[in-house]
Amino acid sequence: MNLVSLNIETIPLGQPLPFVLRGGDGVLLAQKGYVIRNRAELSSMVARGRQLCVDTDESGDSHRAYLAQLQRLLNADTNLGEIAAMKMTAAEESARRARETRALPDWPELQLRATQLLRTPSPADFGARFQALHEELARHCEQTPDATLLALIYLSTQETRMYSATHALLVSCVCMVVAREMLRWPEAGVHQLGRAALSMNIAMTELQDQLTQQTHPLTAQQIAAVESHAERAEALLRSLGVADPVWLEAVRCHHHRQPGPLGKKTPAQQMARLIQRADIFGARMAPRATRSPMPVTAAMQASYYDEDHQVDEAGAALVKTLGVYPPGAFVRLASQEVGVVVRRGATATTPRVAVVTNREGMPTGEPIPRDTGMPPWKITGVVALKDVRVKLPLERMLSLA
């Protein structure tokens, strides 16, 4: 909690509060949107809280926009009566414009582009379309890795119609972030890895989408197609003009079971192993017609241990990079609040969380930021997506990342 004292003259009367109002000891005096009717009610609040404060961790954008509007009025020598009557709408509009300037990607559009490209690749334009798609994804991974992970993990936990392409986007993103931040690979290797991950299932994109919604067991023909998809993907990529031998080998080997130190592997084998670990992570969290998504901790554990039940170097790098509770995961706090992880923290177990339901299980209305490195908001466990009783628009969550 980061409390900032407020001047009583700047509190709007007869208008909805643009932020949560707290006392000097942090006690809640009024929720955002509450209307303080007159000066007597305001004085009563001051008496209860000793002073009026706003928690900037809790009311960040609204408070900053409010202060900016106050400063403009003061600079214009506006009288205190007009300042006190300042409307909340101006503050909210400023906050909205500030969020929009971040130019967040249109994720549904990116999902659709990836699905169309990977389902029906054409030699005539595959190279240019694939390069444009990968470059856009790589840019988001480098500039806003937490928001990108949040978007793709969240979408992967509920997507079935465009599962294959969404999964490829997620695996490619995870691989690039791990290679850049934890393994410190050169940028050329990071992008080479990202391209291989994005194209790993190109030979069975349509089949993968079908299987996520299929309720009966796989047929013999489907099993054969799944088992041969890596080799067929390599051949298809060659026919589409891909000539990079490392990229092609990584795709061909991305399902090989080859545990062991990364340093003893060739560059292509290292990429294949990273893709395999990220592939397992993403697949465990994805829903199927016959099962719900697995908890994020189970997905992490499956990536962390290798085929011999030993710690896998590539899997460990993934967990250390994303954290035990990666962006997009829903968690329960010591306060009994439930929130979504929006940003990685200083350690693997202390991410930044936006609370969406309070301790009584009721929606908070506005997501409330929490620092899980502080004891009152320590994470006590994960929450299954089906048990989260509030649905936030992706854009709203991304604005908090």
H/E run at residue 354: strand 352-357
pLDDT in the model for residue 280: 94
> What gap in Å lies between CA 390 and CA 384, rounded to an integer?
12
Strands of the sheet with 352-357, listed across from one edge:
363-371, 352-357, 338-343, 330-333, 379-382
Structure tokens, 372: 């899980």
176-194 per-position pLDDT tens digit: 999 999 999 999 999 999 9
In the block, residue with structure tokens 């990229």: 247
Mean pLDDT of the chain: 84
pLDDT in the model for residue 54: 76
For residue 268, what are the CA distances in angstroms to 192, 249, 283?
A: 10, 6, 22
- For 356, the 3-state DSSP assignment is strand
Closest CA to 170 of 193, 139, 149, 191: 149
Give the best-scoring range by mean pLDDT among 21-35, 75-89, 152-166.
Answer: 152-166
pLDDT in the model for residue 97: 45
pLDDT, average across residues 17-27: 77
In the block, residue with structure tokens 């009026």: 52
- For 201, the 3-state DSSP assignment is coil
224-242 per-position pLDDT tens digit: 999 999 999 999 999 999 9
Report how far Cα 340 is from the mean position of its chain's Cα atoms: 9
85-109 per-position pLDDT tens digit: 443 334 434 444 444 444 568 898 9
pLDDT in the model for residue 99: 41
**154: buried, middle or exposed (CB in 10 Å: 19+, 13-18, 0-12)?**
buried
How do the domains of the chain map onto residue ranges? 3-100, 107-322, 330-398
pLDDT in the model for residue 137: 97
Query: Between residues 112 and 289, which one has the greater pLDDT?
Result: 112
Evaluate if pTM is beyond 0.85: no
**150: buried, middle or exposed (CB in 10 Å: 19+, 13-18, 0-12)?**
buried
292-337 per-position pLDDT tens digit: 778 788 888 899 999 988 999 999 999 999 999 999 999 999 999 9
Q: pLDDT confidence of 11, banded at 50, 70, 90?
A: confident
- CATH, domain 107-322, list 3.30.10.20, 1.10.287.1120, 3.30.565.10, 1.10.3210.10: 1.10.3210.10
39-64 per-position pLDDT tens digit: 777 777 777 766 777 776 665 555 55
